[in-house]
């Protein structure tokens, strides 16, 4: 199952405790539902943004193996002269010593109101722990389901604030496989199978069918045993029986370097996510005046309608451009068989004036200096191929004066204008420079 996490958390969880002389007795090892405990403060040290406290025993889970830390409170007990209650906002593992570091908020004084030797009561945020227990245990069940059904190993696990992911060692996974794994995982949850913590030596574990034994562990392994379904080395916090996971909902998948990433949520998160999805779909369905299941069909219909409308609009604009070109050429001054069209369109856009410039310069010998206002004030200069001007050079000169950008070739150029008024005056100025 969760090999990478297994590597990560069981080696941390076991080797640190067995091979390194860690000071902290980890109470969550044997009881994931212990939310209150008493302990003695061993050391207190300044840490970035707070104070780092080491206790002789702790039920706080430190971030490791994909599972994130607990939060809660540390309160000094049995000292009538002092009232110290500090928020635990992070819990980490000291990489060197293996100690559990409780990062508490510095209080208003020197931040060291806790002292070595103090007896404290630790209280864990039970809701947050329950959520983590559900996500983490759900991951065991889900990873085992993928392994049993399709022999797909889990190579890593990540627990986020909103959703969790596992990475499966495979190139692809089909929607059918996802559904089957989700179904099996939820069946195992509904069966409410006992989940037990067991300890075994690596040799014992091999005979018990634990799939992967972390190489670094020499003493006891901590095993999480989901009865007749999964046996896995792990240092995290878990449910007492699978029913406590509540449910598993698979979400999106994405291709990653080491395989396929599967997003999932368990327990209340699954309900919350489904609720959010439902509200989103309901809003979309209301906009379409339809049932939520009809939303994709309605979107497809709308997309087809938009495409058809765009095509119709293009055809109409072509016709309008055609007519405009005729009208403008009729009224434009002519010299030496060459027409000069200088026209500003306050409400039309760049696409239209480009279309119009093409029509004007194809219909006869013409120079066309067009501008538009709107959201993106623009200029389009064009001439019938073979006429002696250089539209690119004229545009460069114009945009330089406007402080904008633009360019093009001898016969066609476009550029920007700061606003409609300046676009309009720019074409009048440019007209004075057109060779006649």
Contact residues for Zn ion, defined by CB under 5 A: 234, 236
Q: Which residues of 268-288 are buried (b: 16+ CB within 10 A; e: fewer)?
A: ebbeebeeeeeeeeeeebeee
H helices of 48-111, in order, are none
Output 231 or 387, the one with its CB closest to Zn ion: 231
CA distances 246 to 57, 107, 195, 255, 322, Å, are 30, 39, 14, 28, 67
Least Cβ distance, residue 234 to Zn ion (angstroms): 3
Q: Nearest approach, Cβ of 32 to Zn ion (angstroms)?
A: 10
- Which region, left, alpha or beta, applies to residue 102 given φ > 0 means left and ψ of -120 to 50 means alpha? beta
Minimum Å gap between C-beta 236 and Zn ion is 4
* CA distance linking residue 435 with residue 328, whole number of Å: 20
Query: Which CB atom, from 29 or from 352, has the smaller least distance to Zn ion?
Result: 29
Token digits of residue 345 = 């369109």
Closer CB to Zn ion, residue 238 or residue 261? Answer: 238
Q: What is the DSSP string of 312-323?
A: HHHHHHHHHHHH
**Cβ closer to Zn ion: 224 or 341?**
224
In the complex, residue closest to Zn ion by CB: 234
State in angstroms the smallest separation of the CB of 238 from Zn ion: 6
Q: Taking the complex as a whole, how short is the minimal distance between the CB of residue 65 and Zn ion, in angstroms?
A: 7
The nearest distance, CB 225 to Zn ion, in angstroms, is 11
170-to-145, 154, 207, 264 alpha-carbon distances in Å: 15, 9, 28, 17
Please identify, using beta-carbon distances, which residue of 265 and 353 lies nearer to Zn ion.
Answer: 265
Least distance from Zn ion to the Cβ atom of residue 134, Å: 12
- Dist CA 138 CA 239 (whole Å): 9
Residue closer to Zn ion by CB (options 7, 339) is 7
Between CA 278 and CA 286 the distance in angstroms is 12
Smallest distance, Å, CB 46 to Zn ion? Answer: 33
* β-pair type (338-345, 366-372): parallel
Tokens representing 354 are 């480009």
CB of 2 to Zn ion, least distance (A): 7
Counting Cβ atoms within 10 Å, is residue 109 exposed (0-12), middle (13-18) or buried (19+)? exposed
- Please say which residue, 236 or 392, places its beta carbon nearer to Zn ion: 236
Task: List strand residue ranges (DSSP E) for 142-191, in order.
Answer: 154-159, 164-168
Shortest gap between Cβ of 277 and Zn ion (angstroms)? Answer: 27
Count of all residues that appear for the chain in the document: 436
- 234 or 321, CB closer to Zn ion? 234
Q: Which is nearer to Zn ion, 236 or 267 (CB)?
A: 236
CB of 236 or CB of 408, closer to Zn ion: 236
> Could you give the CA distance from residue 309 to residue 64 in angstroms, rounded to a whole number?
56
User: How many C-beta neighbours within 10 Å does residue 192 have?
Assistant: 15
Say how many CA atoms lie within 13 Å of 81 toward its Cβ: 3
């Amino acid at each position: 199952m969760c090999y990478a996490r297994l590597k990560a958390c069981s080696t941390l969880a076991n080797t640190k405790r067995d091979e390194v002389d860690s000071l902290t007795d980890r109470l969550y090892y044997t009881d994931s539902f212990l939310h209150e405990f008493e302990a003695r403060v061993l050391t207190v040290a300044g840490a970035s943004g707070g104070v780092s406290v080491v206790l002789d025993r702790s039920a706080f889970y430190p971030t490791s193996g994909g599972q994130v830390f607990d939060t809660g409170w540390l309160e000094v007990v049995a000292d009538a002269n002092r009232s110290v209650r500090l928020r635990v906002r992070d819990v980490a593992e000291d990489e060197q010593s293996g100690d559990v570091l409780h990062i508490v908020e510095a209080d208003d004084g020197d931040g060291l109101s806790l002292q070595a030797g103090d007896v404290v009561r630790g209280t864990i945020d039970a809701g947050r722990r329950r959520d983590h227990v559900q996500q983490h245990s759900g991951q065991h069940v889900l990873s085992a389901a993928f392994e049993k059904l399709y022999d797909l190993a889990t190579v890593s696990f990540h627990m986020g604030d909103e959703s969790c992911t596992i990475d499966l060692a495979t190139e692809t996974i089909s929607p059918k496989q996802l559904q089957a794994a989700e179904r099996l995982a939820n069946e195992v949850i509904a069966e409410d199978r006992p989940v037990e913590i067991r300890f075994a030596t690596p040799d014992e574990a091999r005979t018990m069918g634990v799939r992967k034994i972390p190489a670094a562990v020499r003493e006891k392994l901590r095993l999480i045993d989901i009865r007749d379904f999964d046996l896995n080395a792990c240092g995290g916090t878990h449910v007492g029986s699978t029913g406590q996971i509540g449910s598993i909902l698979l979400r999106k998948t994405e291709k990653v370097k080491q395989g396929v990433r599967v997003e999932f949520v368990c327990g209340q998160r699954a309900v919350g996510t489904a609720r959010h999805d439902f509200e989103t779909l309901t809003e979309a369905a209301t906009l379409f005046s339809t049932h939520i299941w009809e939303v994709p069909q309605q979107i497809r219909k709308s997309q087809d309608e938009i495409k058809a409308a765009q095509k119709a609009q293009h055809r109409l604009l072509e016709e309008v451009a055609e007519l405009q070109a005729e009208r403008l050429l009729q009224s434009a001054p002519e010299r030496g068989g060459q027409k000069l069209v200088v026209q500003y369109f306050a409400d039309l856009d760049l696409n239209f004036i480009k279309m119009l410039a093409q029509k004007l310069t194809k219909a006869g010998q013409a120079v066309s200096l067009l501008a538009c206002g709107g959201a993106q004030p623009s200029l389009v200069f064009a001439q019938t191929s073979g006429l002696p001007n250089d539209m690119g050079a004229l545009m460069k000169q114009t945009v330089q004066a406007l402080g904008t950008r633009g360019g093009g070739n001898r016969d066609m150029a476009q550029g920007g204008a700061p606003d409609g008024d300046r676009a309009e005056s720019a074409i009048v100025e440019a007209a004075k420079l057109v060779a006649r």
